[in-house]
Amino acid sequence: MKKKIQVTVGSVAQALDRFEHVWGQAQKGAAPRAQVRLTFESLPALLKSLTPTRWALLERLKREGPLSINELARRVERHYKNVHTDVTRLIEFGLIERQADQRVTVVWDLVTAEMRLAA
């Protein structure tokens, strides 16, 4: 089974509504479908956080497997400090994980995005 994370734009209130819905299903004995979601408050916040450069790091790590930050920086031909900063942010978002041996990796097979227009 593929590991999937959904990236969305939405409010805290919407996230709480989703939580309440799942909680209510669980209380009724229904097994809720597992979801992993990363929500940003606005499209500009999402685009500031998931830049094309950071997306390229995710793609490279997924394609090549676990790497040290130093090796990743070498392969993408970027300065170590900048790659370290980007990887640290992607770890904070849960898009990259650091292994016990300090190499970083992408555990997701699929990243989907959902952005709804306000009505």
Domains identified in the chain and CATH numbers: 4-114 (1.10.10.10)
pLDDT tens digits for range 22-76: 788 888 887 767 678 888 988 899 999 999 999 999 999 999 999 999 999 999 9
Supply the Cα-derived Rg of the chain in whole angstroms: 17
Quick: pLDDT tens for 86-106: 999 999 999 999 999 999 999
Give me the sign of the Cα torsion angle 36, 40, 44, 47.
negative
**Between 79 and 29, where is the model more confident?**
79
Residue in the structure block whose two tokens are 């590991």: 3
Q: What b/e string do you get for 15-36 counting C-beta neighbours within 10 Å, with b at 16 or more?
A: eeeeeeeeeeeeeeeeeeeeee
- Identify the helix (H) or strand (E) that includes residue 32: none
pTM, to two decimals: 0.81
